[in-house]
Chains A and B, each alone.
Chain A
Amino acid sequence: MAYTPQKPPLPETTEQLKARIPFWGVDLDPADRPSVPKLQWQEDLSGAHWEVPDQQPERHGPRERSIEHASITPVFGTAQPLHGVSGAIRRHAYARFSEARLAHWLLLIAGDRVEATGAHLRSFATLRPDNPVTETGVLAEAGAHPVASRRGRVDARHQTIDPVLVAGPWVAGAAVTWLGLRRVVRAVRR
């Protein structure tokens, strides 16, 4: 079969489409589409009444920033300031590597895992320790048709990995704790 200049015929004519879909073509003219062209001077500056925004003060010490920025931005989030070992890892990622370097992102992910581990451990010394049952939301399974919802799905084969990924570190942590305690108890008995 040779290919020809014509596009294969569409299953419906424009008239048929208009009859089936009442809103067909209301934005056919690109002029009606809000982001065409991509770069378009915004005369109202979206409500801004400044050209140089005020600078937000740094209340939590020097704020980490990408070294691709000239300086700290006028506005920034203050949600979770850096702290501890994870904070040191993240600060190094920001201070040493640009966003172009894989090391920047891998260090940030390492910081995430270090912080999560520390937070879990610290939670056991509080009145509200981490609870993998309530915090994973799996209790919702009971009312959410867990079997019917998964029947025949192509992703079912890797969903079985999720419990291993979530529970694995907890099981490993419990095993290490138990082995450690057993060793201590045996040493004391001797």
Chain B
Amino acid sequence: MRAMVYRGPYKLRVEEKDLPTIEHPNDAIVRVTLAAICGSDLHLYHGLMPDTRIGHTFGHEFIGVVEQVGPSVENLQVGDRVMVPFNIFCGTCWFCARGLYSNCHNVNPNATAVGGIYGYSHTTGGYDGGQAEYVRVPFADVGPVRIPDWMSDEDAVLLTDAVPTGYFGAQLGEIVEGDVVVVFGAGIVGLVAARSAWLMGAGRVIVVDHLEYRLETARSWAKAETFNFAEYDDIVVEMKKTTGHLGADVAIDAVGAEADGNLLMHLSGVKFKLQGGSPIALNWAIDSVRKGGTVSVVGAYGPIPNMVKFGDALNKGLTLRMNQTPVKRQWPRLFEHVRNGHLTPSELVTHRFPLEHVAEGYHVFSAKLDGVIKPLVVPGAA
């Protein structure tokens, strides 16, 4: 089969690989029909994630058709059109039984601090991902769901990570009516978080980024106020000024490890890997929120320590909430929101790359060229 493979930091190519096989009785093999590149794939691409092995196939956002099922699979049949959450999870460990699917303890031998994720290095379990023609899907009775007939492929693939993660970011903010919510990052996760903040009754939603074309989408799609931090000497001071010098009630970090905005943090965290990424967006969130407020973190960070302003978080009495998103737990409500038009994720798709051109897709997304917000990868479309 054809598959994207990692060849070292900033380098990848498409190769012929062996077809995945059933390794466990509850595995399925899925033929991928549509995949996406996630902002967090860029952390792997840039060599930020420890134990990213040569030959690894990335891709944790994908949909497809069930091609083969293991002997214990009961809930799926060959030919089913399925969407697969980015979390690999068992359904029955202490964490899964309580809904923490992203924290499953039965799928990742390589680490206890993170669950299983498709195509996201051996630190998250060593599973190849979906930027390929075929992918192994463990615990096929637990994770995947048949795509409803009314749902488009684009909406379905965006519901495997980006949309639930944005919505989850707003949810972690514990928003109450009238809250001032500031979202750092106007990528697709930040845009969905901003729009979801309105769903939860925010009184004011502010999006901060430095890419003007994304801020335009924040204004039009997420109906938010925007601040371009490049236009201000100190964005934290601006957040204070615009909130009567109290600070926002809720701040959401939808940026994660590759934040721009502070050269020292970017160089040490992103370029030279001396931290688990640049924590500048998280530090801005901590400093922009009011005392007693809530900081929600859905931007991804690596396992190496970061220079986070924890003293400020303590002294301000903040509530810090964060997790990888338990995707399937969000789905019933999000399916309603997509069907009712409250969330329209496919409007955020800007690019489609044939699998054979996936290297170009990564470069365009990484360098933020050509107005890119969300690139999709189409197997067999060369």
A residues in contact (CB < 8 Å) with B = 3, 7-8, 10-12, 14, 17, 20-21, 23-28, 30, 32-36, 38-42, 45-54, 56-57, 59, 63-66, 68-69, 72-80, 86, 90, 94, 99, 102, 105-106, 108-109, 111-112, 115-116, 119-120, 123, 130-132, 134-141, 143-146, 149-150, 152-155, 157-159, 161-162, 165-166
A48 near B362 (CB under 8 angstroms)? Answer: no
If the complex has contacts A21-B198, A75-B139, A144-B364, are A112 and B47 also in contact, measured as CB distance less than 8 A?
Answer: yes
Bound-state CA distance A7–B111 (Å) is: 44
Describe B's contact surface by its main secondary structure: loop
Q: Chain B: which residue is nearest A80 at the CB level?
A: B53
CB distance from A15 to the nearest CB of B (A): 12
A140 near B23 (CB under 8 angstroms)? Answer: no
B382 at the interface (CB under 8 A from A): no
B99 near A42 (CB under 8 angstroms)? Answer: yes
The answer, among A7, A65, A90, for a CB contact under 8 Å with B109, is A65
B210 near A53 (CB under 8 angstroms)? Answer: no
Bound-state CA distance A149–B211 (Å) is: 10
The answer, among B96, B142, B177, B367, for a CB contact under 8 Å with A149, is B367
The answer, among B11, B72, B200, B329, for a CB contact under 8 Å with A28, is B200
A36 near B171 (CB under 8 angstroms)? Answer: yes
Q: Chain B: which residue is nearest A98 at the CB level?
A: B112
Give 15 A-B pairs besides A7-B178, A73-B108 with Cβ atoms closer than 8 angstroms: A10-B203, A25-B201, A28-B201, A42-B99, A53-B106, A73-B109, A75-B24, A116-B8, A137-B360, A144-B367, A146-B369, A154-B261, A155-B210, A162-B367, A166-B11
B50 / chain A contacts, CB cutoff of 8 Å: 105, 108-109, 112
B51 at the interface (CB under 8 A from A): yes
CB distance from B175 to the nearest CB of A (A): 9
Describe A's contact surface by its main secondary structure: loop
CB distance from B16 to the nearest CB of A (A): 10
22 A-B pairs, CB-CB below 8 angstroms? A3-B245, A14-B177, A32-B333, A33-B200, A35-B99, A35-B326, A41-B98, A47-B141, A51-B92, A54-B25, A64-B110, A66-B111, A73-B106, A74-B106, A94-B110, A111-B51, A115-B54, A123-B7, A141-B367, A154-B260, A165-B9, A165-B271
Bound-state CA distance A23–B367 (Å) is: 34
B374 at the interface (CB under 8 A from A): no
A68 near B126 (CB under 8 angstroms)? Answer: no
CB distance from B130 to the nearest CB of A (A): 12
The answer, among A11, A49, A135, A149, for a CB contact under 8 Å with B7, is A135
Q: Chain B: which residue is nearest A111 at the CB level?
A: B51
Q: Give chain B interface residues in 46-75, CB to chain A under 8 Å.
A: 47, 50-57, 72, 74-75
A66 near B112 (CB under 8 angstroms)? Answer: yes
B204 near A11 (CB under 8 angstroms)? Answer: yes
Bound-state CA distance A50–B305 (Å) is: 38
Q: Chain B: which residue is nearest A37 at the CB level?
A: B99
B134 at the interface (CB under 8 A from A): no
Chain-A contact segment, one of B83-91, B151-159, B281-289, B312-320? B83-91
CB distance from A10 to the nearest CB of B (A): 4
A24 / chain B contacts, CB cutoff of 8 Å: 198-199, 201
A42 near B98 (CB under 8 angstroms)? Answer: yes
Bound-state CA distance A26–B302 (Å) is: 35
Closest 3 CB pairs between A and B?
A77-B126, A137-B363, A48-B91
Most buried by B among A20, A53, A141: A53
Bound-state CA distance A64–B50 (Å) is: 14
Q: Chain B: which residue is nearest A59 at the CB level?
A: B23
A8 near B112 (CB under 8 angstroms)? Answer: no
Q: Give chain B interface residues in 200-249, CB to chain A under 8 Å.
A: 200-201, 203-204, 210-212, 223, 229-230, 243-246
If the complex has contacts A46-B142, A79-B128, A80-B122, are A135 and B333 also in contact, measured as CB distance less than 8 A?
Answer: no
If the complex has contacts A46-B142, A53-B106, A79-B56, are A136 and B96 also in contact, measured as CB distance less than 8 A?
Answer: no
B210 near A80 (CB under 8 angstroms)? Answer: no
B359 near A154 (CB under 8 angstroms)? Answer: no
If the complex has contacts A39-B99, A51-B92, A130-B7, are A90 and B326 also in contact, measured as CB distance less than 8 A?
Answer: no
The answer, among B54, B108, B128, B230, for a CB contact under 8 Å with A119, is B54
B112 near A69 (CB under 8 angstroms)? Answer: yes
B26 / chain A contacts, CB cutoff of 8 Å: 53-54
A80 near B271 (CB under 8 angstroms)? Answer: no
B377 at the interface (CB under 8 A from A): no
B10 / chain A contacts, CB cutoff of 8 Å: 136, 162, 165-166
B12 / chain A contacts, CB cutoff of 8 Å: 135, 137
Q: Chain B: which residue is nearest A73 at the CB level?
A: B109
